[in-house]
Amino acid sequence: MPESGIKRMPTGKDMVILVKSMFSLNRAGWIFRFHGFWESSPLRAGVFVRKQGADILQPFYVIHCPMNRPALVSTTALKTFPLFAGLSDDVLSSISQVAMMRHFLRGQSVVRAGERTDYVYFVLTGSLKVVVSDEDGREVILSILGQGQIFGEMGMFGDQPRSASVVPVVASDLVTVTKQAFRQLMQDHFEVAWRIMCNLAERLRDADRKIESLALMDVYGRVARLLLEMADDVNGETVVAHKISKQDIARMIGASREMVSRVMKDLGQQGLIEETQHGIILHERLGSNA
């Protein structure tokens, strides 16, 4: 096998992949694809890493990849979620026993508005949009979800149907836990319940900021605030690394795509933002517009 290569061996509809070794998560421009986690496997699952089309591998591990079927999730994978960071191994083990991982393709519906709430979802890799739409098919994007985020947790506190639909923007791996199992985890482990409540409180604060933005800001201010909220620190720069179209920005702030295009062009000419192939770089003075 080539030193820098990757070997895929199909087994029916599944795949066996040989990669080199585990990499830690790094959101700064890297795309990570976890192909599986099996605590009981004689060879631990590794990670296949792709950066700008090049496969970067370490000493090889064998990974069995059931295609489009749920896979078990290890405590190693769970530790990558902020919600579970710092929890004891015993608690993480309890969660891993009821968690499964599923792969969703771009555009494949994960949940639909009006459906029963059966699962809580955690984003392991990829990006998804939360949308609501009217009878004419017009969409409003409520938020974009990235690695480490959670959705569906409101279903833990009642039996109301889903209030929005969730669709992957890119192919995504999600960790799922059934509603009943997660409720039991919250009852058995107060720290998990407390973190869920803190997460819901943060979502309420986000909703307050969005209402304020829609009511009091012009389109320039709404675009600037959205970009700042979506940005991360990458090597000392403030960057919106999520792939997001001007149409999606328009749907998130309640404006037309044409208006968003004009605002983005104007912000670029003023030197407040810089659109690159790796994302949108935000410069310090942009904050004064939000």
What's the pLDDT tens digit per position in 122-149? Answer: 999 999 999 998 887 788 999 999 999 9
Enter the pTM of the model.
Answer: 0.68
Query: Domain 217-289: which CATH class?
Result: mainly alpha
- CA 229 centroid distance within chain: 15
pLDDT for the residue numbered 72? 81
The domain segmentation of the chain, as residue ranges, is: 1-66, 68-215, 217-289
Assign 7 a pLDDT band (cuts: 50, 70, 90).
very low
What's the pLDDT tens digit per position in 85-104? Answer: 889 999 999 999 999 999 99
What's the pLDDT tens digit per position in 238-283? Answer: 999 877 889 999 999 999 999 999 999 999 999 999 998 888 999 8
- C-alpha radius of gyration, the chain, whole number: 20
CB 147 within 8 A of CB 168: no
The b/e string for 23-60 (b: 16+ C-beta within 10 A; e otherwise) is beeeeeeeebbbbbbeeeeeeebbbbbeeeeeeebeeb
Nearest CA among 120, 113, 122 for reference residue 140: 113
* Dist CA 167 CA 83 (whole Å): 22
Residue whose token pair is 């078990």? 72
Highest mean predicted confidence (pLDDT) among 46-55, 62-71, 140-149: 140-149
Q: Is the pLDDT of residue 9 over 60?
A: no
Q: Looking at the domain 68-215, which fold is it?
A: Jelly Rolls (2.60.120)
User: Would you state the structure tokens that stand for residue 257, as one six-digit string?
Assistant: 């795509």
pLDDT for the residue numbered 62? 40
pLDDT for the residue numbered 69? 55
pLDDT for the residue numbered 186? 92
Between 77 and 56, the higher pLDDT residue: 77
* Dist CA 261 CA 150 (whole Å): 30
Residues 14, 15, 16, CA angle at the centre, nearest 5°?
A: 135
Q: Is the pLDDT of residue 205 over 70?
A: yes
The b/e string for 268-288 (b: 16+ C-beta within 10 A; e otherwise) is eeeebbeeeeebbbbeeebee
pLDDT for the residue numbered 71? 72
* Helix residue ranges, H only, the chain: 75-78, 89-96, 179-188, 190-216, 219-230, 246-253, 257-269
Nearest CA among 97, 96, 102 for reference residue 123: 102
* Dist CA 284 CA 290 (whole Å): 11
What's the pLDDT tens digit per position in 150-194? Answer: 999 988 888 889 989 999 999 999 999 999 999 999 999 999 999
* Dist CA 60 CA 38 (whole Å): 16
Residue whose token pair is 């000392």? 236
pLDDT for the residue numbered 187? 93
User: Would you state the structure tokens that stand for residue 262, as one six-digit string?
Assistant: 């004009």
Nearest CA among 175, 41, 179, 31 for reference residue 103: 175
Mean pLDDT across the chain, nearest whole number?
78
